[in-house]
Structure 1
Amino acid sequence: MLGASYSSGAIFAMKPWFGDHRKNYVGVLLTSLLMYVFGLIYAVFMKANFVIDTNPEKDGASFLQVVKDVFRLSRAKECLATFTKKRPNQGRLRLILLITSGAVCDAALFSEDGIAYQFAQRVYGLTEDAYTSLLTLGYIPPTIATSIGPSLLKFLGFSDASIAIFGCLSLSVFFIIRGIFLSIRGYIAGYVIGSCGRISNVAIRSLIVSTVDSAESAQVFTLSTALETIVGLGATFLYTSVFTLTITHQPGAVMLLVGSIILYPLAVSFWIRFVQI
C-alpha cells in the first residue's frame, strides 16, 4: 500500500507519457496493468497444495471446448452448492456470515477511494500533491500493523476469531474518528489508532479456510470475490450518495455511517468466538 500510494502519486505528477493530457493518467493505468499481468503470470505457474481430480477423457480437449466446459451453467450451480450444503457445527450459516462479513470489510476499505480525494479537498482543503503526501504518510501505520500484527497476535495466543474482533474494532474506529474529528490531526489519528483495520479481512479469510475443505477453497473464494465486487459497487454508490447529501452540513456523516456498518462483521466475529468456539 505504501509503495503503491507513493509511486502512483509520483507517476501521476510526471509529464504525460502519451498525448497532450493535463495529468499522467495513462502512466498510472499502464503501470497498474503491468503489475496485474505480473500477478497473472505468477498465478498461472502456482502449484496447488492439494491433489486436483483430473478427467483423462478431457485431456485432448481444444481450447474452445475447455472454455465452454468452464463457463457452462452447471459450474455456477456447483459453486453455489458449496454454500447450500449442510455442514457440522452450523458450518453453512457460519460460512455465509463470514463471506458477507468479508465483503463488507473489503467494500468499506476500498470503496472509500470514490470520495477520498473529494473528502480531503472539501474538508481539509488539500491539493492533489498535499493529499498524495498525506495519504502516503497515513499508510505507514496500517502497512506496519498489517505486516506484523497477525503474527504478533498469534504469538500472544489470540485465536483467529479474536483477531477478527480486534481487526473489526480497529476498522470501525478508523472511520468513526475521521467522521468526528474533521481535521488533519483527526485524519492522522484515524490511520494510527485504526491501523489494524485491514487485519479484519485477513482473520475472516482464515476463518473461512477453516470452515471448508481445502479442495473447496477455490470455489469459495471465487464466489466471495464476486460478492465483494457486487457489495463494493453498492458501497461506492452509498459513499458518493451520502457524501453528496451531507457534505455541506455534516461531511463526517458518511464516515460515521460506514463505521456503524462494520458492527455487522464485528457481531459475526463475536458470535464465532463466544458462541461457536
Structure 2
Amino acid sequence: MGKINWKSISATLRDSQMEFFYLIFMYGLSVQSTVVTQLIEDKICLNKFGFPLNDCLADKSENKTLVLKETSIISSYRSILGKLPAICTTLFVGSWINNYPSHLKFIITMPCISSILQILIYIGNAIYFELDPKTVLIVDLFPWIFGTIRNTFMALQTYVVLTNPPEKRIIKFASIDVASLTGSIAGQYMGGWILDQKPWFPNQVHNYLGVFIISLTFKVISVLFFIFKVPTVYKVNEKRVARNPDYVKYNLPFKTQQSVESKLSFHNKGAIKEFIRKVFSLEALKKLFRTLTKPRDAGKKQALLLLVVAEIVLHIEFSFRGSVSFQFSQKAYGWSNYQYSTYHAAVRVIPAVMQLIGPRILIQRLGVSDINLGLMAIASHTAEQIITGAWLSSAGFIAATLSGAVAFLFGSAVRSILCNVVERDEIAGVFSLLSVFSSILTLGTDWVLIRLFNATLSFYPGLGFHMFAGAAIIPFSVFMWIKFKLPHLVTKNMAKRKPDNVETGGKDKQTGGVDNNGFAMTEQVTEPEQKEGEVKY
C-alpha cells in the first residue's frame, strides 16, 4: 500500500485557499436565501392580509397563491435595487483591477462586508416582525456603497486568470464553481433545517433569528480567513517563480512590473490623482468600452461580442430562476421551505460530485476542449429546463437536476475562451462589462418575466423555463460557430498525449491565436526551432 504524500496534500490545500474562502462564504450566504423569502411571505400573510398562517401554508389554497404573487413582486423590486448598484460600481471595478491587481483582495472583501451588514438588517426585521415586508428592501442599498456579490465573483475570476497558467485556468474556474455549489447546497439545506426547528428565541413565527445568526457567523469567519490567509496576486506569483523560475514565461503580474508612463504619472500627479485618472475618469470608461469595439484580427472581435451575448442570455435565465425558484417549487411541487431545502441539497449532490471530478476527467484525462465542454453544458442545461417546465412533481425535479448535472461547465468554458480572445490587461474589463450588461438587461427582463410567471402561475407555471430552453439555441449557435469557423481560439486540453500541432524550423507565421500565456496574440512573430515536447496553441 502506497504511502500518503503529505507534501502533495499540503500543497493542494495551500493552493485551495480561495476555494475554501468561497465555500464558507457561499454557505453563509445560502443559509439565509430562502429564509428571507419565507420571512417576506409570513409578513404578507399575517400582517398585510391577516390570513391564518396555516391557510398560507396550504399547498393549493387561493390565499397562498395570492401571497406568492405578492412575494414575487417584492422579489422583482429587490432584483432591481440589487442590480442598479452593480451597474454603477462594476463599471469601474474592471479598470481598477486591470491597473491595480494588488487591490483584488480589497475589491473581493468589500461586498462580503456589505453582506454582513445586510444580515444585521434581516435580524432587525425578524425581531420587529410587525414592520412592513418592504422594509427588507433597505438591505439592497448597501451594495451602492460596498459593491455587490457579483463584483466579488468577477474579481475571483480575475484572480484565477492572474495567478494561473492557461492550462490550469479552466480547472480553477471549475474549482471555484464547485466551492460555490457545495457551499450553496449545504447552506440551503441547513437554512431550511434550522428554520424548521422550534424558534430559538421567543415571539418568532419561525426560527428566522437562528438562521440569520448562523449566516452571520459563517460570513464573518470567511471574511477573516480571506483577509489573513489568502495571499495577494503578487505574492502568489512571486512564490511560484521562487519555486520554479520558468514560471515567468506566463507573463503574470508581479509587484516589480510598472510601465515607464505609469511611474512618471505617479511622480508628477501623486498616488490619489493617478488612481482617479486610471479608475474613475471618463477616459478610463472609454478605454473599458473600447475593449469591445476596437479592431481585432482573426475573427476575435466577432467572437468576443458573440460570447458576451451568449453569457448574457444565461445571466437572464439565472436571474429569473433565482427570483421565482422557491415560489415555483411551492406551487408546482407543493413543497414547504424545509422540503425545498432538503430536496435541493439531496438531489444536487450528484451535480456537485460531477463538478468536483468532471473537469479533471474530461479535461486532464480525456483532453476535451473548452468549446466541447461548453456545448455539453448547453445541452445539459436545455434538458433541465424542458423537464422542469413540463414535469411538475418531485420526481420531475430530480430528473431535471440530474439532466443538468454538467450545466455548470458553461461559465468555465466561456471564461477560458475569453482568455484566448483578449489580452491579459483586458480580462478584468471584459468580466466587468459582462456583469454590467447582464445587470442592465435583467432589470427589464426580471420585471417582465416575473409578471408573466404570476399571470401563468395557476395554469402553466413552467412557461418561463420552456422559453429559456428555446433561447439556448443562441449560446449553442455561438459555440458551434467558434468551433468550426475560429478553431484557433479553442484551447485544446492535451494532457497525457503527444502534441499534434508542433511546427519545426524557423519561419514567420501570423498566429491569429494565443500566446503561451493563454492570452490573445496578434503580432507577427518569428518562431525559433520548436523544442521537443513543447506545445504551442
TM value normalised by structure 2: 0.47
Instruction: Classify the secondary structure of the residue corresponding to 1:209.
Output: helix
Residue 174 of structure 1 corresponds to 384
Match for residue 228 of structure 1 among 403, 416, 438: 438
Residue 203 of structure 1 corresponds to 413
4+ runs deviating over 4 angstroms: 14-22, 62-65
Whether 2:236 is the aligned partner of 1:46: answer no
Which of 1 and 2 has higher RCO (CA within 8 Å, sep 6+)? 1
Match for residue 34 of structure 1 among 220, 223, 227: 220
Equivalent pair of 2:188/2:345 in contact (CA under 8 Å): no
Match for residue 266 of structure 2 among 58, 78, 85: 58
Rate the CA distance shift 1:121–1:150 in 2: closer, same or farther, 3 A: same
- Equivalences, count: 277
Equivalent pair of 2:391/2:397 in contact (CA under 8 Å): yes
Question: Which digits, 9 at most, give the CA deviation of each residue in 1:232-276, with x for residues without a partner?
Answer: 444433441221121111111111111111221111011111222
Whether 2:211 is the aligned partner of 1:3: answer no
Question: Which digits, 9 at most, give the CA deviation of each residue in 1:122-154, with x for residues without a partner?
Answer: 110000001000111232122122222233222
Rate the CA distance shift 1:230–1:256 in 2: closer, same or farther, 3 A: same
Residue 293 of structure 2 corresponds to 84
Residue 237 of structure 1 corresponds to 447
Q: Which runs of 5+ in 2 are unaligned?
A: 1-180, 238-251, 488-537
| Partner Cα distance (2:433, 2:368) in 1 | 28
Equivalent pair of 1:16/1:27 in contact (CA under 8 Å): no
Q: Which runs of 5+ in 1 are unaligned?
A: none
Q: CA deviation at 1:83?
A: 0.9
Q: CA deviation at 1:7?
A: 2.5
Whether 2:304 is the aligned partner of 1:118: answer no
Residues 92-103 of structure 1 mapped to structure 2, 5 A cutoff: 92-103=301-312
| Partner Cα distance (1:84, 1:253) in 2 | 36
Rate the CA distance shift 1:247–1:7 in 2: closer, same or farther, 3 A: same
Residue 265 of structure 1 corresponds to 475
Residue 357 of structure 2 corresponds to 148
Q: CA RMSD in A?
A: 2.9
Rate the CA distance shift 1:39–1:223 in 2: closer, same or farther, 3 A: farther
Instruction: Classify the secondary structure of the residue corresponding to 1:251.
Output: coil
Rate the CA distance shift 1:190–1:219 in 2: closer, same or farther, 3 A: same
| Partner Cα distance (1:125, 1:197) in 2 | 26
| Partner Cα distance (2:455, 2:315) in 1 | 24
Question: Which digits, 9 at most, give the CA deviation of each residue in 1:13-64, with x for residues without a partner?
Answer: 2747899684236436635753774597477822372365442232683547
Residue 74 of structure 1 corresponds to 283
Rate the CA distance shift 1:157–1:214 in 2: closer, same or farther, 3 A: same
Rate the CA distance shift 1:138–1:229 in 2: closer, same or farther, 3 A: farther
Structure number with bigger Rg: 2
Whether 2:423 is the aligned partner of 1:213: answer yes
Residue 399 of structure 2 corresponds to 189
Rate the CA distance shift 1:266–1:31 in 2: closer, same or farther, 3 A: farther
Instruction: Classify the secondary structure of the residue corresponding to 2:233.
Output: coil
Equivalent pair of 2:277/2:284 in contact (CA under 8 Å): no
